[in-house]
Chains A and B, each alone.
Chain A
């Protein structure tokens, strides 16, 4: 896979370039906004990993551009992942937070790539997620984390704990905004589950 690796630190960039190569991927590197834009313009990028602290770049604009080109993106955040970030109009396809291990980045990249190349549609009651397009009910963008929480709950499995409240908060907010009756609630003893609100 040809991956655009835009990281603000050259040591990090070099380490991950080598790691991706060892995994059999081709890393196209950039360490600031201008380089990122230029590498994107060259084309051929299949997935992008962006550092939220990149200089001379509006990450939101780049993510929007990537969405238009149908290139999935993973953003590495210097801050924390919260509901507000997930409720942006154009969130990235996945987020990880600094400091991260190579395994975390690899898992995020593999997961996003797999989702983007699949053809899965997950449905619960009046809600459906087009996993390939990362779209909730055809209108709201969702992240891989939200999709995983949604899918786990449909299968009756306990979702991954990390950033759970942010994902649950974002999903419930999106359900409400879309006028859907589905909600994620917590029941003591049973954990999180999906319910349908009644009039």
Chain B
């Protein structure tokens, strides 16, 4: 279990209709691509409040995202060193530019906020609801078997952790017989991948039998969505947030104080 897995709860985000939630995540992620510093800051405040309201610990969040934050740090440094502009520090051939720092900070902030948006989505959405939303969104598209795709998404989400566990078990079994001393990468992959694939195929075979035994069919009971006024309010608030994020901040300030 990590912070990206579903955390049961009864917050407004948990209760939000998954179709609206999916649309909001897409909108906010797209708006973040266009957002400046001010827009990112507004988004950061809103997302921080939502993380707090959802009950996710900020410390836990930082610990779980430590490698991602490191990646953002590397992106920031790369941008600082590669974007041409006004130099603010130079050491032999290495030049850090003002424009590089600004761009690096902005890109890192955007990626970080997209990650937090996704995290809030996954932590407050049951995988079954995610499957239902995928089915609903795919339904109007011709030639796409939406129910089959939905069950595939559901099975993928369900079995990915199982596959990772099995990979760890195979790796442990290999290492228990000093397989870690073997430095040949081809042999290592062979001893890890072949047994793992065998286990996965056997598990898939058992799963097919178990699903058959429970009368699995693509013609299943359709999911029922319950949309309330709160969903509309959330959607409205989300659209406003996106507009604030993409609107140049000086225009936003002028509009606010001029009126």
Answer yes or no: do A and B interact.
no
